[in-house]
Structures are given as structure tokens and as C-alpha cells.
Structure 1
Amino acid sequence: MTPMSPSPSVGHAPRADTDGRWTPRLVLLLIALAWPTQLLAAGGILGANATAGVAQAFHTTQVVWFGLTLTLVSTLLTPFAIKLGDLYGKKRVMLAMTALGALGEALAALAGSFWLVLAGRAIAGFYGPFGALSFAAVRDTFPPRLVGQASGIMGSSVGLVALGSPFLAGWLIDNWGYRGALWFLAAATAAAFVLVALLVPETPRYAFDAGFDWLGGLVLGGGLTAVVYAVGQGQSWGWSAPRTLGWLGAGAVALVAFLFVERSRAHPILDLHVLRRRPVALALTAGGLAQTVAFTMPGLAILLALYPHIPGVSAGLGWTAHHNAVVSVSWNAVMFGTGLLVSRYLRHYDARRIWCAGLAVMAVGYTLVGFFHSTELQLIVTSCVANVGAGIVVAGAPALVVGVVSREEQGLGSGMLNMLVSLFGAILTAGAYAVLAADSTVVEGTAFYLDTGYSWIFWLGALVTLAALILSLIIPPLRDPAEEDAPPGPPRS
């Protein structure tokens, strides 16, 4: 392990292979970072498929907490994970996170009561901020010329996860119920621990003071968590209900208070001076909005696929989960392939232009999905167009952040992007359900959605993507990490 030094200029993780070529060591390093990062996406798909089994096993009407508990804990802890990574090195923090994640999923799988399941999921939530550190670790451990390409491959591999996870979920749950999905997550997270421990070198420390801003972290994490919780519950409580408004108000007050708290802290948990820079603010906001659409829309499309087709009552396609998995292979393969292709060219072309092109294609794609989604062929063609753009977005977002922050600020940038994706994701999901509810039919207490509602949730995704594109057009030229991170040359004579 590389010894820590009191200066960020030394004590760096080994960065061999500086000629910018891929080597077996770098391939293994990328796998060690990509596996646990994309396990977060796989966990979301497996968890969504396990939810019905949990509800039936414990006869609970509060099954929403099965997923929400993990999300809330992850949101609360993200600011602390960013700071701890800078203080103690990202590898140590990632190891602690994966160990707790495996422990939590195992506890949930063994639980004999619903509340113990929730306790396990809360512990598993410690693993949630992993992505805030893994993309930053790429900047620390890869040769500068490969940072953009490696980040792009890591981001685009979510398409590969989306290809296999629905089939994996069906096999696990059909054979072993919801516990099978949880045991798989526990084992896969334990494997992630081994990969990180054996293949990821220690990363440099960028914060060397002894102070830790616990108050700022609690105020920021608590504020974000309150907003996410209110948005997640707003549809069931009612958007004008006192509980919803109370949680939203408390979250807003906490976030405003955070701005004042950080001004007085000697060692703030987030450097607000970095976030006040226009390129950083634009890149994080645009990246958060675009990735939210890329990650959230496919999940919402599952509603269209799986809800029954009842003329005049429900405009779903009435597919089985297995049939949906088979059909969705097409657009998920497009997303993965596009991401891989784009990641190869990020180092040769202006990443900002590639990013904007991806946003334009994704906006056009989801506009088309809104108009044409009533048959398999229509949904395949329009979704493939949308996922060409989504592949560019998930591959390009890490390069966008790399291009506006310094190496020392990479953890902060990646962490803030993660927090914004969580926040925007909760808001977009709640907004989509509100749109669906406005055009629904209730039969024996169950809401069925009509076609206008499905069209508008895809058009909503297109509008959010368009907003991200407008912001992206005014982002100034990006930095090249290959130039910024390269070691200084010999002095001139």
C-alpha cells in the first residue's frame, strides 16, 4: 500500500503504464471498479422485482420502505463518504462500504420479520454512495490519457447490467423467492469487496486536516433525505397534505441552513467555492438531469409493458416479465454498444460536443417513444433511438465532470453528481406518477393508466433532456485531464 503523505502531490496511487495504452493490470483495475459500481444498478432492478415477494411474505402494506430505506440512508451518507474518501483514501472507504453492504443484504435475506428486513436494507444503504468514489478513483489510478475512456466504459456498462439483470431477477425469484435476490446481492457485494481489496491501489488523500464537519454533513444529508422522502411519499400522501409540505419545508430549511453553516466551518464537508464556479454548476446540473432521464425512463417503461391491456381501462401492453426482458434486450444492447463506442473517442474529440449530440438524440428518441409505443416493433425502434442518446449520456457524464474539476476536486464533483441524480430521480419519478394518475381509471381500488398518461411520461423525459441540453450549450470548453494530470516535463535549458 502506498504510504500517505501530507501533500496531495505525493503518495499517489501507482500510475504505471503512463503511455496511455491498456494493459492487463488496467483491465483488471477497471473491472474491480466497474463491478461494484454497476452492482448498484443491478441491485435496483433485483430489488424492484423482489418487492412484491416481500410484501406477500410479511403481509405488509408498507413495502414501499423496502426500497426507500436504502435510498434514504444512501442519500444521507453521501456527503460523509465524499469527505472520508478525501481524508483517508477512497480505497479504505470503499472497502468499509462494501463490507457493510454485504452484511446488510445478508441480514435482510435472513430476517424473519419485516422490520428486520428494513434494518438490513438500512445497513446495505451504506454501500449506496459507492459511485461517488469509484469514478473519482479512476482519475487517481488510471494514466491521464485513459481517464475519459475508462470513465466512459464504466458509465456505459450500465447497459450491460440492464441486459442481464431482468433475466437474473426472474431466475432468482422464480426459484428462491425474494430471499434469492437478496442472497445474490450479498454474495456479489462480498465479491466486490475482494476485487477492491486485491486490485485497487490506495488513492491519494486530498484533505489533511484533522477536522470533520459532522454538523454540515448532517444538515446537508438530512435536508436532501427529507426532500427525497417527501417526494417519494407525495403521491400516496397527497401533494398538498400537511405531511408532504412539512417534510419538503423541513428539507428546504435544512438546505438553506447548510449554506450558512458551511460559511463558519474551518473544514467544511463540501467546498462551496468549487460549486459556485459556473462550469462546475452547469456540468453537475446538466449531468444530473440527463443521467436521471437515462436511468429512470426505462424503469417507468416497465409499467407500460407489464400493466394489462384492457380497452378503455388500461393501456398497458400486458407482457409478462420474461417477455419484457426478451424485448428490452434490443435497446439495452444499443445503449451498451453506443457507450462503449463513444468511450473510445472521448479522448480524441471534444467531449462536450459528443455529450450535446447524445442529449439531442435522447430528447428526439423519447419524443418518438411518446408517440409510438403501442406495439413491440414501435417500442423497439423508438427506444433504440432514445438509448443511442442514453448510451452517450452515461458514457459522457463522467468525462463532463472530469473536464470541469481538478484532480483534487474529483471526489466532490462525482459525489455531488450522485446526490443530484438521486434527488432529480425522486422528483422525476414522482412527477411521472402524478402525470399517470391524472389520466387513470380506478377499478376496485387499483389504478390503471390510459395511453395519454404513458405518452406524457415519455414526453416529460424528453423535456428534462432538452433542459439539460440547453444548460450544456453554455458550458465552457472542458479541461483535458491528460494535460492537467501529466507529470511536469524536464526543465528547459
Structure 2
Amino acid sequence: MTSASSSPSVDLAPHTTEDARWTPRLVLILVALAWPTQLLAAGGILGATATAGVAQAFHTTQVLWFGLTLTLVSTLLTPFVIKLGDLYGKRRVMLAMTALGALGEMLAALAGSFWLVLVGRAIAGFYGPFGALSFAAVRDVFPPRLVKQASGFMGSSVGLVGLLTPFLAGWLVDTWGYRGALWFLAAATAVAFALIALLVPETPRHALDSGFDWLGGLVLGGGLTAVVYAVGQGQSWGWSDVRTLGWLGAGTLALIAFLFVERSSAHPVLNLRVLRRRPVALTLTAGGLGQSVAFTMAGLTILLALFPAIPGVSDGLGWTAHHNAVVGISWNVVMLSTGMLVSRYLRHFDVRRIWCAGLAVMAAGYTLVGFYHGNELQLALTSCLASLGAGVVVAGAPVLVVGVVSRDEQGLGSGMLNMLMNLFGAIVTAGAYAVLGAHSTILKGTAFYLDAGYSWMFWLGAMVALAALVFSLFIPPLREPEEDPVGV
């Protein structure tokens, strides 16, 4: 049951045929939610581009923490963000997250020491779980007949990020160094705060009680953070190293303990009864796996493009960052246009079939990328096929969640999808580096990867996509947002 919001007369208003139409106000709300959501993806590209500059500026061998700090804080906070959004309304929590994100990036840009950069990145990590709320807010704010389209449009807009951000990142870092990228992130996050404050209405509260299970949130967030940290460090430490096994074991024990903590909690941070439902569990697992491939493999392709071509030592393509961005226009346009087209017609078709078809095409595409990636033409053609499927996947995953949870459960569903996507993405990334490392040459302390490693990297993505497809085949028919007893 949905509790009364600050504007109950709006929340309970009867729907008319006008509710099925896009209006300028709804378009602006979608932009206000999509901007900060996809800024997370842009931040990943900008951060990766700035990493080398950070290492050189502060003469540190621990530059891994520049990106890992933000990821760990984001993972730790995700369970709290889900619950706080239901307790106090998603708009309030999103405003707090974007304000802290802008403050953190500004502090990192101004920092004169590496440890202060990390403090700034840690504060910016409060903004990391934004996607756990934004897709759920779509369910609260948009008319039921437009929820699928709006969710699909917001998910597929990541293609626009992939299209433009590499050029932006190169220009910022080449002109102003790593600080240019951080200042841009600070400014863009401040714009996100303004868009939400001006355009996004407050959402209803979906939790009637005011209690909060702080212990459960810490155990769950800490367990997930420990697992992500172990996976992120496993390649450098070694998978059999006592530190890797220790962090993995501690994270696993924390996640098991969370199940017992939640059972005895009067105010559970996550409703386990919802997550135990077969349609929800299958959808979240398949969605997390599929999206982890769509987002992760595109970034890993940069390794192939930028590593040098040294006969017998390194089988990279040896491109410049600018050349990679130019060639990448082809598959990013395909991903963007496919996602937007699919989103436009999601309401008229069975989302499960479209989703499964996207997974199959993405798996076939990355299988072919593994065989054919030796030059611009080969990589562009095979990656375009993979991006054709990826465009369907990023547009369809949020819509699948809409079809298996109620309006009151949407925050939980979107948040869990976000957590699983990050967890599976970390595992896929670690697996990719593991197969690359198995086919590498060490020269002067630097690992250079051979062609077999790149092939298996792409084939790994294809196998994970096929695993998502297997889970998806058992998802039962989805419900329509219009079936919710209470609309916005």
C-alpha cells in the first residue's frame, strides 16, 4: 500500500486518455532524471581517462584507489539509499546525493595531495547509487502507460554518453589535465542538482514506518563492498592469495549473516519476501548479468584499441584515444538508435521476447568480435552487431523490473538491479583480466596482452550473455504498470 505523499490530490487523481501522451513537462522530467543517471557512465569514462594524469601528478603507485574508492563507497551506500528513498521520498534523497557528489568532485579537483583526492572521491561516491532511485522515480512520476517507454529511453540514453564522452574526456584531459575532468564532473553534477530541484516532483513514500535497520544495511553494504574489493584486487594480488580469499570469505559471511539479521529486524532494509519471488529473482539475475556485459565489454574494448602493436609481445591495435573515439562512433550510434527505437515500441510488444532476442544478438556479436577484431573494419562490424543487442538490453532491463514488482516495490527492484549489475560487472572485469593475464607477455614490469587473451575476453562476455538468456527463458509473463491499484 502506498502512503500519502505531500500532494495526495495529485497522487490519487483519476487518469484520462491524456495520460498516455508525452507533454513538454514529462519530457523535461525525463531529461532531469536521465542527465544524472547517465552522468555516472560519463564519470566512469572521464575518471578512467584522468587516472594516468593523477598517478603522474602525485607520483603514486596506488592510483587504483582513484576509481576504486568511489566504487566501494557507492556499493556500501546502495542499501541505505533504497530504504531512505522509500522512507522520505526519492527527490529529497537524490538532491542530497547530487549535492554531495558535486562537493566531492570539487574537493578532489582542488586537492593538493593524493589522500585528499581520495577523500573527495569518497564523498563523490555518495552520488554513485543514483540509478537505484532514478528508475524507481519514473514509476512514481510518469503515467502508467508511459512508464515502459520512459524507462527504456532513460536506459538507452547511455549510448549518447558512449558516443560523446570519449571526445570530451580527451579534450578536457589534454587541455587541463586530470583536474579538467574533475571540474567538469563537479559542474555537471551541480547541473543535475538544479534539474532535479526545478523539474522533478516529490515522489510518494512507500514505507509507512519510520524505523531503519542500520545493522542490516551495514552488514549488506559491507558484505557487497568486501566482495567487490576482493574481485577488484584479485588480479594484482593473485586469486589464491590469502588477502583475496580473506576479503571474499569475509564478504560472503557478511551476506549470509544479513539473511539472519533481516529475519529478526522489525524494519528490514530490504524486503526479502519480494526478492524470494521467482519472477523477481529471475528478472534481477538476468538483468544484472545482461547489463553487466552491455556496460563492461564496451569499456574493455578500449584495452584492445589502445595497447600497442608489438609483434610477439603485444597484439593491441595501437590506436590513439582520438582514433578509438572516431571508430567507436559506429557502434555507439547503433546502440543509441536501437535503444531509442526499442523504447518507443516497448508498450506494444512482449518485453520478454525483445529482451531475449537482444541477449542472443549481443552474445552472437561478442562471439564474432572474439574472432574478428584485427582492424577498424572488422572491429566496427562485429561491435555494431554486439551493440545492436546491447541497445535492446540497456533499454529492456528496467522495463523487465517494472513488470515483476508493484509500484511500492519499484525502489527495491531498481536498487537490487543496480547492485547486481555492479557486482556482476566487477566479476566480469576480473574474469576478463584473468584471461588476458593468462595470454600475456611481461616486458620491463608491464603486462602486454596477446591476441588469444583478447579473443577469450570477448568470448567471456558472450558466455555471460548466454547465461542471462538461460535465466530469462524462465521469466513468467509480466504485469503491466496500468494494473497498479494506485497511479500517480
Q: Considering the TM-score relative to the shorter chain, is it more than 0.5? A: yes
Partner in structure 2 of residue 307 of structure 1? 307
Alignment check: 8 A CA contact 1:308 1:317 kept: yes
1:37 corresponding residue in structure 2: 37
For the Cα contact (< 8 Å) 1:237–1:244, is it kept in 2? Answer: yes
Which residue identity does 1:264 align to in structure 2?
S
Whole-angstrom CA distance in 1 between matches of 2:241 and 2:452: 26
Whether the 8 Å contact between 2:293 and 2:464 is mirrored in structure 1 is: yes
2: CA distance between counterparts of 1:464 and 1:325? 26
Q: Give yes or no for the alignment of 1:452 onto 2:452.
A: yes
User: Where do 1:136-155 residues align within 5 Å?
Assistant: 136-155=136-155
Q: How is 1:158-307 mapped onto 2 (pairs within 5 angstroms)?
A: 158-307=158-307
2:485 & 2:465 partners in 1: Cα distance? 32
Q: 1:151-194, CA deviations, whole angstroms, 9 ceiling, x for partnerless residues?
A: 00000000000000000000100110000000000000000000
Paired residues of 2:5 and 2:203 also in contact (CA < 8 A):
no
Cα distance between partner residues in 2 of 1:208 and 1:92: 17
Structure 1 distance, partners of 2:282, 2:138, is: 22
Gaps spanning 5+ residues in structure 2: where?
A: none
Shift of 1:6: 7.5
SS of aligned partner of 2:177 = helix
2:22 corresponds to:
22
Residues 55 and 299 from structure 1, CA distance in 2 versus in 1: closer, same or farther, beyond 3 angstroms? same
Correspondence list, 1:305-384, <5 A:
305-384=305-384
Q: For residue 491 of structure 1, what is the aligned residue in structure 2?
A: none
Unaligned runs of 5+ in 1: 489-493
Residue 486 of structure 1: how far off its partner (Å): 6.4
Take 2:487 and 2:228, find their aligned partners in 1: how far apart are those partners?
42
Question: Do the aligned residues in 2 keep the contact of 1:13 with 1:204 (CA within 8 Å)?
Answer: no
Question: Structure 1 length as normaliser, TM-score?
Answer: 0.96
Provide, for residues 292-319 of structure 1, a one-character-per-residue CA deviation record: whole Å limited to 9, x for no partner. Answer: 0000001110000000001111000000
TM-score normalised according to structure 2 size: 0.97
Distance 1:16 1:484, change over 3 A: closer
Deviation at 1:204, TM superposition (A): 0.2
Q: In the aligned structure 1, how far is the partner of 2:5 from the partner of 2:78?
A: 25
Alpha-carbon distance, 1:287 to partner: 0.2
**Identity fraction in percent:** 80
Q: Does structure 2 retain, via aligned residues, the 8 Å contact 1:14–1:201?
A: no
Residues 305 and 324 in structure 1, CA contact (< 8 A), matched pair in contact too: yes
Q: C-alpha displacement at 1:12, in angstroms? A: 3.3
Cα deviations by residue, 1:105-124 (Å, 9 ceiling, x for unpaired): 00000000000000000000
CA distance in 2, matches of 1:8, 1:285: 35
Give every structure 1 segment of 4 or more consecutive aligned residues whose post-TM-superposition deviation is greater than 2 Å: 4-19, 482-488
Q: Is the 8 A contact 1:284 1:417 kept in 2?
A: yes
2:11 and 2:487 in contact (8 A); partners too = no
Deviation (angstroms), 1:208 = 2.0
> What secondary structure, in the 3-state scheme, does the structure 1 residue paired with 2:115 have?
helix
Aligned residues: 485
Task: After TM superposition, give the deviation of residue 91 of structure 1 in Å.
Answer: 0.1
**Per-residue CA distance 1:59-79 (angstroms, 9 max, x = gap):** 000000000000000000000
2:89 alignment partner in structure 1: 89
Q: Deviations over 1:38-90 (max 9, x none)?
A: 00000000000000000000000000000000000000000000000000000
Return the alpha-carbon distance in structure 2 between the equivalents of residues 400 and 208 of structure 1: 26
Q: Note closer, same or farther for the CA distance 1:336–1:401 as it changes in structure 2 (3 Å cut).
A: same
Partner SS, residue 29 of structure 1? helix
Residue 346 of structure 1 aligns to a residue whose secondary structure is helix
Is 1:476 aligned with 2:481? no
Alignment RMSD: 1.6
In structure 2, the partner of 1:413 is 413
Helix, strand or coil at the partner of 1:163: helix
- Asked if the contact 2:305/2:317 (under 8 Å) is kept, the reply is yes
Contact 2:91 2:201 in 1 (8 A): yes
Once the two structures are superposed, residues 384-442 of structure 1 have per-residue CA deviations (whole angstroms, 9 ceiling, x without a partner) of 00000000000000000000000000000000001001111111101100100000000
Asked whether the equivalents of residues 38 and 158 of structure 1 are also in contact (C-alpha less than 8 Å), the reply is yes
Shift of 1:19: 2.7
Once residues 360 and 252 of structure 1 are traced to their aligned partners in structure 2, the CA distance between those partners, rounded to angstroms, is: 31
